[in-house]
Amino acid sequence: MSRKPDDARRTLTAVNPATGEALGEVPLATADEVRARIEAANQAFPAWSALSVEQRARYLQRARDYMLDRLDEVCATISRENGKPRVEALSSEVFLVADLITLYAARAPSILADRSIPLHNPLFKATKSSRLVHQPLGVISIVTPWNYPFSIPMSGIVFALLAGNTVVFKPASGTALVGLKIDEILNQGGGLPPGVLNTVVAAGSSVGTALFEPPVRKVVFTGSTEVGRRIHEIAARSFIPTVMELGGKDPMIVCDDADIDLAAAGAVWGAFTNCGQVCASVERVYVARSVHDRFVEKVAARTRALRVGADADHEVDVGPLANPEQLATVEAQVVDALSKGARVVAGGRRPVGPGNFFEPTVLADVNHTMKVMREETFGPLLPIMPFDSEDEAVRLANDSEYGLTASVWTRDRERGEAIARRLLAGTVTVNDCVYTYGLCETPWQGVKDSGIGRSHSDAGLLEFVFPKHVNVDRSPGFMKRRMWWFPYGRAAYEVQKLAVRAFVSAKAMPRFLASVIGRKDYRKALM
């Protein structure tokens, strides 16, 4: 967490959200400095994009090794500034980045290689060849949040650089020190050439709109739907494409045949990992009425056993909320739910003492009139609601403007997959939840107001290139014209009539060829 910037000194004070301890001062970039770094990226692009994918990958592998040599230091930096326990900093941030670099340093050359396009039209097939050439875009603007301040930025930066782009990276001001650690790992540890990665710590709108305008060629944003919509509108003025991973209100469906102990444990972890500050958090649970009460009891018992506090000796399960604003959102949703008939079965209070803490809280007797079931919480709340039929469960789960992830819990895997296909979400898991951002070979994506485009996976890497079509004519030298060129005439028309019929019927092809060979005026129309 960071305190508001001192406009006179143009610095930001980084603060530990668990203790209120000041961690350091970070200089803020001005709008002019932001523009200068965008221009530096623009100037560095030609040389960087001219390197082979293998050469670019070696820089990232060196950065990975530098990171792993300083593993404890990196995890401690994330934990102190974001508040999450160090085990989460390791498992959901550093581990993911190491895997991503290792896998895609090896995979990227084949993914980004030229692709031949088989041509169907027989005339073109004989005289033309087509290829897709994966061309880097240029300067990529990457703007990232504070909830996963290491893995989310690194995911975008790694793919952008592998694909041959240069990057201007704006970390969340609330986790500026983590952003600077990323810069150190890649620039100092990886030895990137000057201008390839440019990190700007800036305070919100004070930097203007330069990050979303030319010479930037693509914007990658992770954050709230409201902010993402504003950025998308600015970028659209210059037809700059965006990749956006936005909000979520992710449902969990617990069927009557589910392993209730497994589902309860999954719900507690899915709701409270990173103090619930996960776009893919389990934010609402729908449970078959026949097992509802038993499920609620098990979830409540597991929730009460969670250890909440500042991570000092790896003995904490749930840390603080990252900032007072998120704490206020959680408190407001609890008040709203209770005023409309909800019941607290675990937690429900802000503990006494320093830090942005709120007890992991389970609510029962909830319904869709409550904010906790409609609006993104991004905090340690778990509302649980019964359902009477599978159709009702699917309807309730889909009754949201968001569609990032969802989960289904059942002992019948075929049933689970069938329900998964009916849910409107970018990713649906069966008998697990939340974790799939860690599967870097699979796409991370949302539907509806949860975003556009995708990160991770081969498809995510291809977000950072333009698939240029290159077509080459291979006609023999004696063919001085093409059948669709001027001059037009009756013969040209008749030839094309024959061609249209021939290309949709294999039986018509011999007649077409015989006609072309047998008539001088037809041959002339082709040559």
Helix (H, G, I), strand (E, B) or coil at 516: helix
pLDDT above 60 (res 67)? yes
Q: How far apart are CA 278 and CA 256, in angstroms?
A: 27
434 touches 281 (CB < 8 A): yes
| pTM reported for the whole predicted model | 0.94
* Residue range 207-226, pLDDT digits in tens: 789 999 999 999 999 999 99
Q: What is the pLDDT of residues 475-523, one digit of tens each?
A: 888 777 887 888 898 888 887 788 777 777 766 667 776 777 777 776 6
> What pairing do the DSSP bridges indicate for beta strands 405-409 and 451-452?
unpaired
Beta strands in 200-314 (DSSP E): 216-222, 242-245, 250-254, 282-288
Q: Where are the domains of the chain?
A: 34-111+136-246+459-467, 250-439, 478-526
Provide the CATH topology of domain 250-439.
Aldehyde Dehydrogenase; Chain A, domain 2 (3.40.309)
pLDDT digits (tens, 9 = 90+) for 351-406: 999 999 999 999 999 999 999 999 999 999 999 999 999 999 999 999 999 999 99
The arrangement of secondary structure in 34-111+136-246+459-467, i.e. its CATH architecture, is 3-Layer(aba) Sandwich (3.40)
Residues annotated as part of the active site = 245, 279
- Integer CA distances (angstroms), 319 to 108, 144, 345, 378, in order: 37, 21, 21, 13
Contact 254, 287 (CB under 8 A): yes
The string of pLDDT tens digits covering residues 267-280 is: 999 999 999 999 99
Structure tokens at 241: 């494409």
Structure tokens at 136: 């880097």
Q: Per-residue pLDDT for 4 more than 60?
A: no
